[in-house]
Structure 1
Amino acid sequence: MAERQIQFNDGASYEQMMGKWSRLAGDIVLDWLAPEPGLRWVDIGCGNGASTQMIYDRCSPSALKGIDPSAAQLEFARTRPSAKLAQFELGNAMALPFSTAEFDAAIMALVIFFVPLPARGVAEMVRVVRPGGLVAAYAWDFPGGGFPLEPVQAEMRAMGMTPLVAPHPEISRIDALTALWTQAGLRDVVTREIVVRRDFADFEDYWRTCLLGAALGAEVAGMAPDDAVLLKERVRQRVPARSDGRLTASAKANAVRGTRPPLA
């Protein structure tokens, strides 16, 4: 049987579901990083360009590159205003097609749990950043229930189902990120927790948005109709709307940063 994998092939749907969550977390991360203007940035696992656009808007980069394994996501990224500066390339986080010390800052936004060998991905980030440069990432806290779709996935598990998740959810823990960055030889490693909230017009708006997830929509569509109805009602009880019908959902991410040491 073929291994179940999450596929990111719809940049517009990703934007409505995860892109907005990404920007909520990314705003906090960029405030925390407080980078100097004029840096050369690389956004690894840039997807549809949501995080790349934030770097373009907020960090005044002198150069900006994004890399992702999904051609469809990159096609969407190239429609953004950031494409006036940013160059988007198809590639692998574990074998970056960039020169050593090419960048001043490297970031992985909500990606590291998808990298087959996370330590190799971090080593590649370190390689392409100059000595003294910034290496950072943030990741939804899967073990801590911080993934935006956790309310739906929790009810799926309660119904005896196994929702599709990222290959390495455990790597998103703060202690795991600290160990990765430290073992990669980075200095001044610091972490922080990020909590974000997102408003929805009502439960139906929330539910439709959840079903735009890269895997969840297909999983729900493949259920027996009675199971799909039951799941929706269980989630409705888990994430109740306010008296005005509106609904606020929350998510939690962990972030890490470090500095590449001088060359020996």
Structure 2
Amino acid sequence: MMNDMQTNAIRFNNGAAYERYMGKWSQLAGATFLDWLSPEPTRQWLDVGCGNGAFTELLIERCSPASVHGIDPSGEQLAYARGRPALRTAQFRVGDAMALPYPDATFDLAVMPLVIFFVPDPARGIVEMGRVVRPGGTVAAYAWDMPGGGFPYEMLLAEIRGLGIAVPAPPSPDASRMNVMQDLWAGAGLVEIETRGIDVRRTFADFADFWETALGAPSVGPTLATMADDDLATLKTRVRDRLPADASGRITYDARANAVKGQVPKLRAANAH
């Protein structure tokens, strides 16, 4: 949900377009993720890379938090988040995942939804999350399995690349691998680490709905806008052929995310930070 401040390749600055393109997917995966975390109510949360607030809204609806803070580098995304009625009590600020602007041991839980592959130095980001969480608290994330083809629009991106056209990519796609996430959590000194896969399915009304939704992607829309008409027609045909519709014209397909959670040690070493 968050494009890190250090990358120019992919920027999320349109909250409404993001809501249609990725917010719905985020909530589908986020529901399973939050059930898996099974947090106690009235906890203090930090949402790292909160973007337009799609996951933050889900968090508030399902987890009865005492407080929620969200951080993201995009002021435009945060403006959209602040406009959500459910997020009136959340506190948002512009910031960087690799330098969280909070004191040590401030939160009970820090979560990173669909963000880790956008962080240029993921290890530093996880250490920062651990720093701002209290001893015994939880640090967790979920991310599309980028190398494993789990990204919801990977088929479309593959067809674009197949035409010899480069598509902007996040700086750290390997950080979404299950084993890499586990190593990052261990490297940050977290304990009681667990991982799991999350499979989700989304239905579009028809191909036009899918296509218009995909155009909201910062990695896709600008790329398609520069394509020659013939190439664009070829691309649409190829994509349509790979997205079989049911009798009503609806298109349904799956995506897969990897998730990880761990605890800040209850007896944190005095010189840990």
Whether 1:259 and 2:273 are equivalent positions in the alignment is no
Alignment of 1:1-264 (within 5 A): 5-261=9-265, 262-264=267-269
Paired positions, count: 262
State how far apart, in whole Å, the 2-side matches of 1:157 and 1:67 are.
33
Q: Which runs of 5+ in 2 are unaligned?
A: 1-6
Question: Which residue identity is paired with 2:92?
Answer: F
CA contact (8 A) 1:151 1:239 kept: no
State how far apart, in whole Å, the 1-side matches of 2:256 and 2:169 are.
16
Question: Which residue identity is paired with 2:268?
Answer: L
State how far apart, in whole Å, the 1-side matches of 2:185 and 2:155 are.
30
State how far apart, in whole Å, the 1-side matches of 2:243 and 2:175 are.
27
Question: Which residue identity is paired with 1:244?
Answer: S
State how far apart, in whole Å, the 1-side matches of 2:128 and 2:248 are.
49
CA contact (8 A) 1:190 1:257 kept: yes
Partner-residue secondary structure (3-state), 1:152? helix
Q: Deviations over 1:129-163 (max 9, x none)?
A: 00000000000011110101101011112222221
Q: Deviations over 1:221-245 (max 9, x none)?
A: 1111111111111111111112321
CA drift of 1:165 comes to: 1.6
Q: Deviations over 1:190-213 (max 9, x none)?
A: 000011000111111111111111
CA drift of 1:4 comes to: 5.4
Question: Which residue identity is paired with 1:217?
Answer: G
Partner-residue secondary structure (3-state), 1:176? helix
Structure 1 runs, 4 residues or longer, greater than 4 Å off? none
CA contact (8 A) 1:4 1:164 kept: no
**2:3 counterpart residue number:** none
Question: Which residue identity is paired with 1:263?
Answer: R
State how far apart, in whole Å, the 1-side matches of 2:249 and 2:94 are.
43
Indicate the percent of aligned positions where both proteins have the same amino acid. Answer: 56
CA drift of 1:215 comes to: 2.3
Question: Which residue identity is paired with 2:232?
Answer: A
What TM-score, normalized by structure 2, do the two folds share?
0.94
Question: Which residue identity is paired with 2:213?
Answer: T
Question: Which residue identity is paired with 2:98?
Answer: M
Partner-residue secondary structure (3-state), 2:244? coil
CA drift of 1:60 comes to: 0.7
Partner-residue secondary structure (3-state), 1:170? helix
Deviates more, 1:184-193 or 1:243-252: 243-252
Partner-residue secondary structure (3-state), 1:177? helix
